[in-house]
Amino acid sequence: MKGAEESPLKGIFMTNKFKLAILALIVAIVAVVAYLFTIGPLGNPALATVNGEKIFVAGFHKELKTLEPGYQDVVREYPDKLLDILINKALLLQAAKKEGIAAPAGKGTSAPGTAPDTETLIITAYLDKKMAMLPPVSQEDLNQIYETYKDELGGRKKEDALVLIQQMVARQRQSEEAERLIADLRKNASIMVNQKALQRLAVVPSGMETQSEDDFRKALASGKPMVVDLGSNSCLPCRQLRPILQKIRKDYTGKLEVLIIDINKNPQLANEYKVQLIPTVVFFDASGKEIFRNQGFMSEAKIKEQLAKMGVL
C-alpha cells in the first residue's frame, strides 16, 4: 500500500522533471540558433580568406559605415568593390607586419573617426618605406616634360613649373608603384572569396533597375520618341540621375520611352553609340534617329527643355 500511495507523487515529480528537461533543451536550442545567426558563422560568415586570415561580414559593414551615403548605396549593390579594397588592405598589413613595421608611436587613436586607426598607420608607414626607395625624377626628365607642355602651363615661370611637374610626376610614380606592389602581393597570395556570402550582401535599391539591349531595340522601333541613359549603377552621377528619369517616365507616360542602360551589362551598346563619358543621355525621335546627347549629369529642367524642342509635350 505504501508503494501505491507514493506513485502519484512520483508521477508528478517525473512530469515536472521532464518539463524542466524540455525547457532546458529549448533554451539551449535558442541559444545555439541565436549564436549562429548573430556572431556565429551564419550571422557573421567570412567573406574572404587572405593567406589564412578571414575578412568577416561584420568588418565589411564596419568599413561600409565610413563611406559617404551615396557611395554606401553603390557598395550595397556592388559589394565586391569594397571587398576588393579590404583584401588589398589585408595584404598590405600582412606585408608590413612581416617586415616588422609598426605604427608610429603616439599616432594611434581610441576615438573612432578622429584619426587614422592603427592598421591604417602601419600600412601608411609600409607604403612610405616603399616609396622612399623609388629613384628621384631626374632633372633631364623634368626639363623634357616642361618643354613638351610649357604652352599649356599658362605662362608659369619655369622654376615654378618644374616644382609642380616634379610633384605631379612623383605622385604618378607612387601611384603606379602602389598598384604594382598590390598586384605582386595578390599574385603570390592565397585568396578565397565566399561568393554565396558576397551575393547575399548585394541589394539593388528600388528605382535602380536597368533595361537590356533587347528592351532598347524594341523601344527604338516603337514609333515613340526615346530618352536613354547610357551609364552604370556603379557611377554616382548616374545614380543621382535615376530618380529624375523615373519621374520623366511617369510624367510622359504613353508619349515617351525612357530607358536606363547599364553599359557594364551591355557593352555592345556602349561601343555602338561611342559612349566616352557616363552618364550619357541620348535623345531619339519617333523614327529612332539620334537628335541630341548630353554627357554628364542632366537636370529635370534640361531634359524637359530638350523634349519640348523635339515636340514632346
CA of 171: how far to CAs of 166, 167, 206, in Å? 9, 6, 40
DSSP 13: H
Q: State whether residue 295 is helix, strand or coil.
A: strand
pLDDT tens by residue, 83-123: 999 999 999 999 999 999 988 776 555 455 555 688 999 99
Q: Which of 86, 142, 235, 236 is catalytic?
A: 235
pLDDT tens by residue, 11-58: 555 565 555 555 655 555 455 444 434 434 445 689 999 999 999 999
Least confident range of 104-113, 134-143, 152-161, 211-220: 104-113
What pLDDT, on the 0 to 100 scale, is given for residue 51?
96
Q: How far apart are the first and last CA of the chain?
A: 101
What is the band of 217 on the pLDDT scale with cuts at 50, 70, 90? Answer: very high
What pLDDT, on the 0 to 100 scale, is given for residue 36?
39
pLDDT tens by residue, 162-206: 888 888 888 898 999 999 999 999 999 999 999 999 999 888 766
Q: Which of 238, 263, 269, 312 is catalytic?
A: 238
Q: Is 238 annotated as catalytic?
A: yes
pLDDT at position 305 over 60 = yes
Contacts of 91 (CB under 8 A, 6+ apart): 50, 51, 182, 185, 186, 189
Decide: residue 66, CB within 10 A, 0-12 exposed, 13-18 middle, 19+ buried. Answer: exposed
pLDDT tens by residue, 223-248: 999 999 999 888 888 988 999 999 99
Residues shown for the chain: 313
The grid coordinates listed for 272 are 555602338
What pLDDT, on the 0 to 100 scale, is given for residue 6?
52
Judging by DSSP bridges, how do beta strands 46-50 and 257-262 pair with one another? Answer: unpaired
What pLDDT, on the 0 to 100 scale, is given for residue 192?
96
Q: Is 227 annotated as catalytic?
A: no
- Three-state SS string over 20-72 comes to HHHHHHHHHHHHHHHHHHCCCCCCCCEEEEECCEEEEHHHHHHHHCCCCHHHH
What pLDDT, on the 0 to 100 scale, is given for residue 95?
95
